Amino acid sequence: MIEEDPAVRKKLMVAGMEVQAVSNRLLGPRYLCVLNNPESLEMRGWSREQCAQRYQLGKPRSYIFVAYTAEQFKTREDLTTLLSMAEEAARNAGVAGFWIGCSCMPDADQIEEDVYRICDVIRGCTQLVIAIGPSASNPSIATADDMLQQWGARIWTFPEILLAPAGKPVLVSCSSKNFSFQLEKNQFAAKVWDDSEVSRQLIDHYEGNLILSRLELVTLALECLQTRQTTQYLPGDHSYALMGLLRIRPVVDRTDSAFQAFSRLSLANDSDRLLERLIATVPVHPSQPWHNMKDAYGVKLWDIEPNVGIAGIGEDDTVIIDGARGAFVRWKSFKRVASRKRQSWKRWAASILLRFSGLVWLISVAILTVGAIGPGVFFFLISTPAIIAAPYLVKLIFSGKLWGTQPWLFAFEGYLPIEDIEKHIFGGMLYRLEWSPYGSPLSRHKKNEHGECCGIDPTTDPQVGSLVERAKRARFGEPKVSCLAEDV
């Protein structure tokens, strides 16, 4: 039976088309392998039963969920052994039946929906049973631990562990060794998975020992899912596996790319603005895939507060944003920046001396030529120091605090020392520009004598300097370095 929540129905725009996102949830499995005389451990046999009507009438059956990987159970003989293991586990558990993928998804027209709704079946089981066996493709996997690790490396097995009944151990049954053992859920991170530091947080969340926000849950789950293996059925399989952990699940669209599938999932659960946060990250390197959420500044998605909204998802994995602000950037050349300063007595005195010192010096020369030695020497001694100090007076007039500047953004390809940039903008080196300490991942900074963070020339870092040198000879399509000068 499917329970449909009309409160969460909404319209999304994907590639210019309206897509109806509906939260469809199974109250129980559509089919179940029901045991013959389940109270008996001796009697064998089972039959597949359609259970939708029973769940609709409120008469559910108890069952175990049997998880396995096709990497270990491929042939008909393997599947026969697998079903025998499932029946034995169900009888030992004292339940009415078992659910297993190879038998409980018989309808070809429903198999796609069944695969992506397995999470609901897991939530309703009484116990999770993992069936493991030898790998035909990798004979080196011989021990039970190796088989279990191969099972745990598959993408669809990850949510099965997370959604298994909380507080109950998982039963692991090995076909080749003919033995079973129990493993606590909180031991899977250390014993089965390689990403224990991240995956343990998710297990603790579902066990109730650690409460993650939904944003943290999605971020960590996607990070784990992307490292796991799968035989791709649809490009968006990773997002559809993640979908099982969320409340609102959009309808599977076979035409979606991997990014579009994730985007529709994010938009359906848009209260966390997951996609808006994702596009605000700065990749560590240009070739970084979209699903790698590592940021060049080392921040997590929950550290980002987006200022734009997502209006839709277009073709070629493009994102249509709304509410973004733009700025004019001048690329073709530098331009003198208009500025405004307040008059001070120092600037007033310096301008008077600079303007009249030359005139006074000429007057002194004229007086000396007519023979008036005394007055001529007097005017000469007054004007000469001012002429000698002219460079300082010019700097005094044009430097100092600016009370208003014309806003400009200048950009150019390559690198220039900050002194040259300032000369092009202000006409001289007046120490008005500074390197940004966090303007980009290439920015560098240090502490000054007061313990304050201040930017330094990035090329003082040998790694950045080497990158700048390589960018000088970069060909089309290769990384280049650009500078952005801001004057506001």
Q: What digits encode the pLDDT tens for the residues 440-460?
A: 888 999 888 888 899 999 999
Q: Considering the chain, what percentage of its residues have pLDDT values greater than 70?
A: 92
Please check whether residues 268 and 386 belong to one and the same domain. Answer: no
DSSP string of 181-221? Answer: EEE-GGGHHHHT-S-HHHHHHHHHHHHTSS---HHHHHHHH
Of 398, 415, 435, the domain-final residue: 398
User: Does residue 65 or residue 265 have the better pLDDT?
Assistant: 65
Q: CA distances (Å), 355 to each of 271, 341, 361, 389, in order?
A: 66, 19, 11, 12
Kindly state the DSSP code that residue 312 receives in the 8-state scheme: E
The predicted structure's pLDDT at residue 65: 94
Please check whether residues 136 and 40 belong to one and the same domain. Answer: yes
Helix spans in 244-339 (H): 258-268, 274-279
Query: pLDDT (tens digit, 9 = 90+) per residue, 88-145?
Result: 999 988 898 999 988 888 887 777 777 777 888 898 899 999 999 888 778 888 888 8
The predicted structure's pLDDT at residue 214: 83
Residue 1 reports pLDDT greater than 70: no
Please check whether residues 378 and 314 belong to one and the same domain. Answer: no
13-22, 257-266, 367-376: which is most confident: 257-266
Of 361, 376, 398, the domain-final residue: 398
Tell me how many helices (H) and strands (E) the chain has: 18, 19
Of 372, 398, 424, the domain-final residue: 398
Give the pLDDT mean for 206-222.
87
The predicted structure's pLDDT at residue 22: 53
pLDDT band at 439 (very low <50, low <70, confident <90, very high): confident
Please check whether residues 125 and 243 belong to one and the same domain. Answer: yes
Query: pLDDT (tens digit, 9 = 90+) per residue, 285-338?
Result: 878 888 888 888 888 888 888 888 888 888 788 888 888 888 889 888 888 887
57-71, 307-321, 367-381, 450-464: which is most confident: 450-464
Asked if the structure places residue 334 within a domain, the reply is no
Residue 201 reports pLDDT greater than 90: yes
User: Does residue 55 or residue 175 have the better pLDDT?
Assistant: 175
Asked if the structure places residue 333 within a domain, the reply is no
Asked if the structure places residue 331 within a domain, the reply is no
Cβ(201)–Cβ(212) below 8 Å: yes
Q: What is the span of the domain harbouring residue 316? A: 2-322
The predicted structure's pLDDT at residue 203: 92
Of 129-138, 177-186, 261-270, the least confident: 261-270
Asked if the structure places residue 382 within a domain, the reply is yes
Q: Domains in the chain: how many in total?
A: 3
The predicted structure's pLDDT at residue 488: 54
Give the pLDDT mean for 209-238.
85
Residue 8 reports pLDDT greater than 60: no
Please check whether residues 388 and 411 belong to one and the same domain. Answer: no
The predicted structure's pLDDT at residue 160: 92
Please check whether residues 280 and 137 belong to one and the same domain. Answer: yes
Could you give the dihedral angle defined by the CA atoms of residues 49, 52, 56 and 62, in that order, rounded to the nearest 10 degrees?
A: 50
Q: Which of 485, 476, 323 is nearest to 410 (CA)?
A: 485
pLDDT band at 487 (very low <50, low <70, confident <90, very high): low
Give the pLDDT mean for 61-85.
90
The predicted structure's pLDDT at residue 204: 92
For the chain, the average pLDDT equals 82
Distance (Å, whole) CA 477 – CA 62: 60
The predicted structure's pLDDT at residue 293: 81
Please check whether residues 235 and 357 belong to one and the same domain. Answer: no
The predicted structure's pLDDT at residue 202: 93
Please check whether residues 373 and 408 belong to one and the same domain. Answer: no
Residue with tokens 């014309």: 406
Please check whether residues 375 and 312 belong to one and the same domain. Answer: no
Q: CA distances (Å), 222 to each of 35, 57, 188, 330, in order?
A: 37, 37, 18, 40
DSSP string of 20-70? Answer: EE--EEESS-SEEEEESSTT-SS---EEEEE-HHHHHTT-PPPEEEEE--T
Asked if the structure places residue 329 within a domain, the reply is no
What angle do helix axes 196-207 and 214-225 make, rounded to 10 degrees? 140
Please check whether residues 310 and 349 belong to one and the same domain. Answer: no
The predicted structure's pLDDT at residue 387: 82
Asked if the structure places residue 328 within a domain, the reply is no
Asked if the structure places residue 237 within a domain, the reply is yes
Tell me the whole-structure pTM to 2 decimals: 0.70
Please check whether residues 116 and 236 belong to one and the same domain. Answer: yes
Give the pLDDT mean for 64-77.
90
Q: Hey, what are 210's tokens?
A: 């650690």
Q: Hey, what are 133's tokens?
A: 């066996």
Strands 46-50 and 31-35, sheet pairing: antiparallel
Of 17-31, 43-57, 438-452, 474-488, the least confident: 17-31
35-39, 156-160, 345-349: which is most confident: 156-160
The conformational region for residue 464 under phi > 0 = left, psi -120 to 50 = alpha, else beta, is alpha
Asked if the structure places residue 330 within a domain, the reply is no
Q: Per this entry, what is the length of the chain?
A: 488
Please check whether residues 171 and 303 belong to one and the same domain. Answer: yes
Residue 247 reports pLDDT greater than 70: yes
Q: Considering the chain, what percentage of its residues have pLDDT values greater than 90?
A: 11
Residue 385 reports pLDDT greater than 60: yes
